[in-house]
Amino acid sequence: MSKAVSATERALRFVEKSSRIKLQDLRDNIGARTTGRQVRKGTNQAGHTQGALERAAKPPLGWIWGDFFRPWQRMFPGERHFNADINLRREYQPLSLIELSRLIDLGWVDPSQPIDVAALCRTKKFNIQPRLRQYGFDLTAEGADDFTHKIDIEVQYASQSAIAAVEKAGGRIRTAYYDVQSLEAAVDPQSWFKKGLPVPPRRAPPTSLLEYYLSPLNRGYLSKDEEINEMRKKLSLVMGYDHTAELVGETKSPNQIFHGIPAGSVVSLADKKIFGPTREELKKYYEGDLRSDTNYAC
């Protein structure tokens, strides 16, 4: 009668007679793991009977009418894709002349001082977020017939009607470009100064905007004053009002953000002092030629 052998002994005997154990021999037992259910046929929906339309899905960008899943820019593609650069487009917050008049009448904006992004954001009536590609203000012509304030204003974009309304009242207007870093400092100067960061130099506009800010027709800050005066006379003849001399006020250099504070300065709010750069390398960097804004190609 044979002696009973335990399962452990039988396993040891099997291992002794088998080949050497290898790493690739380690695997799960059959049936230890199960794969998920695979639906291979299109007719077998596996309970999924509601599509995007039943779930109140919004149509894709550019959809006008017709097939929900085939908008026209997909059916008829061109060389330039529809809304392909939507994440790179700049946004300008509209500022009407009637709203600007209201801010002046209520004392939020001082018309005797230059009005720029910092002065408008100081009122806490506007919320500009540069990281969301909001690049400043667009001066619109709403309320142009009743605008009578003589101001010196700097915006990022302005229509010809708005420019004519400001100059008809005897004011001065310029369109200037702010890059993201410069706009962050201009929107909230107090937070920027508390960090102890130097005032950054304002960069030149990218190539797509260079023509706009070089044009005296748009009162670009990179154009010459003589050309702007000629365009002021032409615009007064077109719009039908008497030409007046341009308001003489404090001007900023193309790389300057704040009036009276040059680029590269560190502002101490506690001491109420402005410290400028002393090293020649820093002076050359901050006072040198304009550097183009290369963060975005467009």
Task: Return the pLDDT at 41.
Answer: 57
Average pLDDT of the chain is: 84
Predicted confidence band of residue 247 (pLDDT cuts 50, 70, 90):
confident
3-state secondary structure of 25: helix
Beta-bridge partners for 96 = 140
For residues 26-48, one letter each, b for 16 or more C-beta atoms within 10 angstroms of the residue's C-beta and e for the rest, the string is: eeeeeeeeeeeeeeeeeeeeeee
Least confident range from 11-20, 79-88, 152-161: namely: 79-88
Greatest Cα pair distance, the chain, in angstroms, is: 129
Residue indicated by tokens 């470009």: 177
Q: Which helix (H) or strand (E) holds 286?
A: helix 280-286
3-state secondary structure of 293: coil
User: CA 276, CA 261: separation in Å to the nearest integer?
Assistant: 9
Structure confidence by residue, pLDDT tens digits, 55-96: 777 766 666 666 766 767 667 766 566 666 777 889 999 999
Q: What is the mean pLDDT of residues 267-283?
A: 90
Helix orientation angle between 160-168 and 225-239, rounded to the nearest 10 degrees: 90
Alpha helices (H) in 32-188, listed in sequence order: 72-75, 97-105, 117-121, 160-168, 180-187
Structure confidence by residue, pLDDT tens digits, 175-184: 999 999 999 9
Task: Return the pLDDT at 4.
Answer: 67
Residues 6+ apart with CB under 8 A from 277: 198, 264, 265, 283, 286
Domain residues of the chain, as ranges? Answer: 91-242
Structure confidence by residue, pLDDT tens digits, 213-231: 999 999 999 999 899 999 9
Q: Which helix (H) or strand (E) holds 275?
A: strand 273-275
CATH architecture of 91-242: Ribosomal Protein L15; Chain: K; domain 2 (3.100)
Q: What is the mean pLDDT of residues 158-167?
A: 94
Task: Return the pLDDT at 252.
Answer: 87
User: CA 185, CA 116: separation in Å to the nearest integer?
Assistant: 13
> Is pLDDT above 60 for 149?
yes
